[in-house]
Structure 1
Amino acid sequence: MAPDLSRRGLFAAGGALALTTMAGAPASAGVLWQSRLVRYDRRGRLVYEQDAEGNRVPDFSHAGYRGGERPIPHVPVARTIRPVEGDNTAHIQAALDAVGALPRRRRGAVLLLPGLYPVAGTLYVRASGTVLRGSGDGEDPAGNTIIKATGNTPAARDVIVAGGVAGGGWAGEVPGTRTEITTGFVQVGAREFEVANPGALRPGDNIVINHPCTEEWLKAIDYGGHDVGPAWKVGEQPIIYNRYVRNISGNVVTLDVPVFNHLNGAHATSYLYRWDRAGLVTEVGVERLRVDIEYHGDPEQDEEHAYNAIVLLRTEDSWVRDCTMLHFTQAGVATQETTRATVENCRAIDPVSVVTGSRRYNFNTYTYSQQVLFRDCYAYKARHAFVSNGHSTVSGVVFLRGTSEYALNSSEGHRRWSQGLLFDGHRDVDPHYDYTLGLYNRGRYGTSHGWSAAHSVAWNCDVATSRLIVQKPPTAQNYAIGCRGTVTGDGPFAQPTGYIEGPNQPGLLPPSLYQAQLLDRLRP
């Protein structure tokens, strides 16, 4: 039976537990404790503290399909096919295109019956309301659907792309809708501010907020925080948010989702505009299949094969669930130009590549990825198992109950001011690296990565025998609360230690920050 994600069901499942555990818990439960920064009040509602700079733990509850407010739908089957001899690329694509050509109300899933489907090209789920669904993600083709990605033409291709084509982010500005934000300091976690002229805006508008990368802002963050190597430059790292207008009252605009960084007028004049949504694809998914990428030779040398297994590209309200991906170079699942997506119950295992940069990012949020939820996913032999690789255009990403086994490097914010990352219940098993979770400064690494995460949280995580590194960026904060293992501010580049509370102390309440915040937001 599917879980009850209605408001009533969420309160029954989580709210009652929270309230009863505050009143008193069974002796076997041990000592329960709450963070000083996020805690329940007497009414069972979450309350937050902030520091002297106005930093506070953000609300991450908007991550996921439909902002976490609805379960992923079960889309009816519109067409069913079975494998054919030889390359199945055109065979599957014809079925996807036929369903995509139907009127929107009649679209649905293309069901691949059990079997082995050799695919020498890329499969595109292009039309809104279309799903690519297999019959299971196991290794036996008698009862499961196996996409066998063969060859390397074109070189380093993606196997499945759900969504549109790369569109340069969210740059499509509707003429006449731009207006400046006039509130002098919009605090992280805020959902409203004043603008100069709201006349062209309406509730329900999809807007883009831009905090320019100015000399003043770069100076405030120490030009990215480098000891050696090139500093960040003006214009390189604007902070960008994709949002909806919830309400307008006078000059005050209220958003659907909070901002994940301070918008400080002393550092830059932020502005917003209505986005034209050109090329955006909605309500698409990939389900219940196995992507097995063919390779030859040494699994730590061969790269003559497909690069990514599944990519969500230029989508809103999309999903990947119950899938297994093997032998990719970079990612089992990657997102780009994507908002409100859920990746659920997926396994990205056994990557095949040289063990070096830009490889083995098993679950990867790339540029312009926001409100993305990875739930109950498993990574094996990753360099960066759960990672934000998309710099200052990535925010509001939640990694919920992720498991990384045999990690060869760290799950982390990877580069250039990703914001609002939540590692919630993350667990490392048999780590093979000195530190396996990082909200920290990466200095000269890569493309001068510098501050790789800001306003980000590790909550109730377990890094086993490795280290969790949390450091404080200028103008911001990072947090490690209730985590197990060695929790430290001692990273590869010396910076102030971030906020650490309750290391190796069991009984953190709530056990999941994301789920508690979602419950709190949806309660009447």
Structure 2
Amino acid sequence: MESGRLTYVGDRDGNRVPDFSYAGYKGGGVPIPTVKIVETVSAIEGDNTAHIQSALDKVSTLDLGSDGFRGAVFLKAGKYNIQGTLHINASGVVLRGAGDNGDSSTNTILIGKGDVPHQRNILVIGGKKDSEWVDSIPGTRTNIMTEFLPVGSRSFTVSNASRFKVGDNIIIKHPSTKAWIDAVQGGGTDSDKVWIPGKLDILYNRTITAINGNMITIDAPVYNHLNRSLSQSYIYKYDRTGIVSNVGVEDLRIDIESSDSKSEKHANNAVAFNKVENAWAKKVIALHFRQSGFITQNATFITVQNCKALYPHSVVTGGRRYNFNADMASNNILFENCEATNARHDFVSNGASTTSGVVFLNCLSQFTKNTSEGHRRWSQGLLYDNITFTKGTAPEPVLALYNRGSFGTGHGWAAVHSVIWNVKAPGKKIILQKPPTGQNYCFMSDGIISGDGPFKQPTGYIEGTAELPLIPSLYTAQLKERLKYGMPPDAPAQVKAIHSAGNITISWDDLSPSETGYEVERSTDSLSDFKLIAHLPANKTMFLDKKATKGTFFYRVRATGVNGKSAYGNLAEEKK
């Protein structure tokens, strides 16, 4: 920290801890609203699916208010048999119960009955199933021209910004080229086949907040480097037809009936978010699901808060018991104050390269049977912040950011640019490994922490094991700082130091449209003792160090702005 504010330091490759504070409803820091009740429902005998759906559909026809809501459907205390699937498929509609406990005289309980259709969802929040944000506005595809956009950046140059305006919803696409796959060890799949080009594209669902010439600024950072030498990334306007927003479920219990704890013939997921943004589940308990209590797909800015996913019923094998599951095309998702029991993967990203910016905050895992983790194929920007693992001993590690090699279907490198922060797993194993072209981090956590995974790979960055953190929660600190000060400028990229004619020239790429200047620092130790040697005006991209004596020197550069200082760019080294 510096002057009470967080300081981010890049390594030689520009890897650094990203800002996770954009996860959650409305991009973080916005309380979940209390929406006015406009329709009240009581339980009836038999199947209540159509009964409740009729009320939801009725509210869906009301006009949207100035606050973006139509109203809430209130389910009185009681038991509601659900033999089908409920849909909240219009913006501005909320489903609310009387409470989430097991006493139906004072709480609302949805009983998931039967298995028709087979392994269905009980509640779907959002529109019709989407396929990873592929719908585009014709003629808007535009290449990103920034040569190297580091993790954590929010601004980049495009070939032609005239096609866009502030407020446009865009998709950033990083194609999974052979060059990129080669750079990440073919995916690190061990004995399995290497990843296939075109099958693991990285996607970010973002909104444009500023345009300066051909430089575009977006509302949340990218969680992976975009390197033009490996892949030509591009953007396009997203066709938002069918997107549902400002919706939620709260204060109820979903109890899925099954014949026994290993049954497969019952509902698959309790609450599924799909083709949706700015949505929530709050104070909902899900029991006896097969796969997930809460799953997000094609979803952005979702909060799952004060929820429990308990006692899943299924065979204990692959594809089951992912209690809190950020699945395909999930961006900026917050799971806060949640509890999981008897999971295979309590808190998991299962969405591969299209899932990023996922935060698990102040959560509890009990009786886990396997690992909370990035599960497969290059999920980015996961934060496990104040997670406690207790009761029971899993044969596997309880938490891992690592290479899964030939596990599953060539899962390989499962997480990158991800962080474990102040996790409590005393006596339990945590695995942290460093992916090629990226990094993973573990700070101030209690457990048996190492890079000793099922597939041999370099150890990630580990600091302060079992020490008391000065910053109890990274997400909370990042959010508080952003809301108080606003966003600082983007960090410079591709910092280089070259010795010539007795001097050392430091150069960098200017990625920020809003910096007021740059600071250049020098050290003889790559880890500490950096001294400020130059404070330069805005738009400068070079400094000539004439005062360096003989030896090896390390340089770092950061931008300054009205909202503070950027992260440092990558560390540069040169001898004189």
Q: TM-score surpassing 0.5? A: yes
- 1:265 is aligned to 228
1:295 matched to 2:295: no
Query: 1:402 Cα shift?
Result: 1.0
- 2:277 is aligned to 316
- 2:498 is aligned to none
Give the whole-Å Cα distance in 1 for the aligned partners of 2:138 and 2:50. Answer: 40
Give the whole-Å Cα distance in 1 for the aligned partners of 2:133 and 2:303. Answer: 20
* Alignment equivalent of 1:59, drawn from 4, 19, 36: 19
- 1:142 is aligned to 105
Query: 1:517 Cα shift?
Result: 0.4
1:120 matched to 2:120: no
What amino acid is aligned across from residue 108 of structure 2 in structure 1? T
Structure 1: unaligned runs, 5 residues or longer: 1-39
Contact 1:167/1:279 (<8 A) preserved? no
- 1:182 is aligned to 145
Give the whole-Å Cα distance in 1 for the aligned partners of 2:231 and 2:339. Answer: 40
What amino acid is aligned across from residue 284 of structure 1 in structure 2? V
- 1:159 is aligned to 122
Give the whole-Å Cα distance in 2 for the aligned partners of 1:387 and 1:73. Answer: 27
Q: Which has the higher strand share?
A: 2
Q: Counterparts in 2 of 1:82-481, with a 5 A limit?
A: 82-105=42-65, 107-297=70-260, 299=261, 301-433=262-394, 434-481=396-443
TM-score by length of 1: 0.91
What amino acid is aligned across from residue 380 of structure 1 in structure 2? T
- 2:494 is aligned to none
Contact 2:130/2:274 (<8 A) preserved? no
Contact 2:149/2:226 (<8 A) preserved? yes
Give the whole-Å Cα distance in 2 for the aligned partners of 1:173 and 1:124. Answer: 25
Contact 1:431/1:466 (<8 A) preserved? no
Once superposed, what is the RMSD of the aligned Cα atoms? 0.8
Contact 2:137/2:238 (<8 A) preserved? yes
Report the 3-state secondary structure (helix = DSSP H, G, I; strand = E; otherwise coil) of the residue aligned with 2:309: strand
- Indicate the larger mover: 390-399 or 44-53: 44-53
What amino acid is aligned across from residue 348 of structure 1 in structure 2? A
What amino acid is aligned across from residue 89 of structure 1 in structure 2? T
Query: 1:123 Cα shift?
Result: 0.5
Query: 1:432 Cα shift?
Result: 2.4
Report the 3-state secondary structure (helix = DSSP H, G, I; strand = E; otherwise coil) of the residue aligned with 2:161: coil
Contact 1:170/1:277 (<8 A) preserved? no
- 1:78 is aligned to 38
Q: Deviations over 1:458-503 (max 9, x none)?
A: 0010123211100000000000010101011000111000000011
TM-score by length of 2: 0.83
Give the whole-Å Cα distance in 1 for the aligned partners of 2:453 and 2:363. Answer: 23
* Alignment equivalent of 2:452, drawn from 490, 501, 509: 490
Give the whole-Å Cα distance in 1 for the aligned partners of 2:105 and 2:229. Answer: 63
What amino acid is aligned across from residue 343 of structure 2 in structure 1? A
Give the whole-Å Cα distance in 2 for the aligned partners of 1:509 and 1:276. Answer: 44
- Indicate the larger mover: 228-237 or 411-420: 228-237
Report the 3-state secondary structure (helix = DSSP H, G, I; strand = E; otherwise coil) of the residue aligned with 1:397: strand
Q: Which has the larger radius of gyration?
A: 2
Give the whole-Å Cα distance in 2 for the aligned partners of 1:178 and 1:227. Answer: 36
Give the whole-Å Cα distance in 2 for the aligned partners of 1:424 and 1:408. Answer: 20
- 1:29 is aligned to none
Give the whole-Å Cα distance in 1 for the aligned partners of 2:255 and 2:425. Answer: 29
Give the whole-Å Cα distance in 1 for the aligned partners of 2:46 and 2:391. Answer: 40
Q: Deviations over 1:55-85 (max 9, x none)?
A: 0000000000001131011010010010001
Give the whole-Å Cα distance in 2 for the aligned partners of 1:227 and 1:315. Answer: 36
Q: Deviations over 1:319-349 (max 9, x none)?
A: 0000100000000100000000100000100
Give the whole-Å Cα distance in 1 for the aligned partners of 2:133 and 2:465. Answer: 40
Contact 1:430/1:464 (<8 A) preserved? no
1:69 matched to 2:29: yes
What amino acid is aligned across from residue 73 of structure 2 in structure 1? V
Counterparts in 2 of 1:495 and 1:431: CA distance versus 1, 3 Å: farther
- Indicate the larger mover: 174-183 or 204-213: 174-183
Report the 3-state secondary structure (helix = DSSP H, G, I; strand = E; otherwise coil) of the residue aligned with 2:137: coil
Give the whole-Å Cα distance in 2 for the aligned partners of 1:408 and 1:464. Answer: 16
Q: Which has the higher contact order (CA 8 A, sep 6+)?
A: 1
Query: 1:169 Cα shift?
Result: 1.7
Q: Deviations over 1:384-436 (max 9, x none)?
A: 00000000000000000111001100100000000000000011012421310
Contact 1:431/1:464 (<8 A) preserved? no
Give the whole-Å Cα distance in 2 for the aligned partners of 1:469 and 1:185. Answer: 29
What amino acid is aligned across from residue 307 of structure 1 in structure 2? N
- Indicate the larger mover: 225-234 or 264-273: 225-234
Query: 1:509 Cα shift?
Result: 1.8
- 1:27 is aligned to none
What amino acid is aligned across from residue 267 of structure 2 in structure 1? A
Query: 1:361 Cα shift?
Result: 0.4
- 2:476 is aligned to 515
Query: 1:210 Cα shift?
Result: 0.5
Runs of at least 4 residues off by over 4 Å: none
Give the whole-Å Cα distance in 2 for the aligned partners of 1:153 and 1:387. Answer: 27
Give the whole-Å Cα distance in 2 for the aligned partners of 1:75 and 1:178. Answer: 38
Contact 1:414/1:453 (<8 A) preserved? yes
What amino acid is aligned across from residue 151 of structure 1 in structure 2? G
Query: 1:227 Cα shift?
Result: 1.7
Contact 1:343/1:373 (<8 A) preserved? yes
Query: 1:177 Cα shift?
Result: 1.5
Identity %: 51
What amino acid is aligned across from residue 200 of structure 1 in structure 2? R
What amino acid is aligned across from residue 470 of structure 1 in structure 2? L
- 2:506 is aligned to none
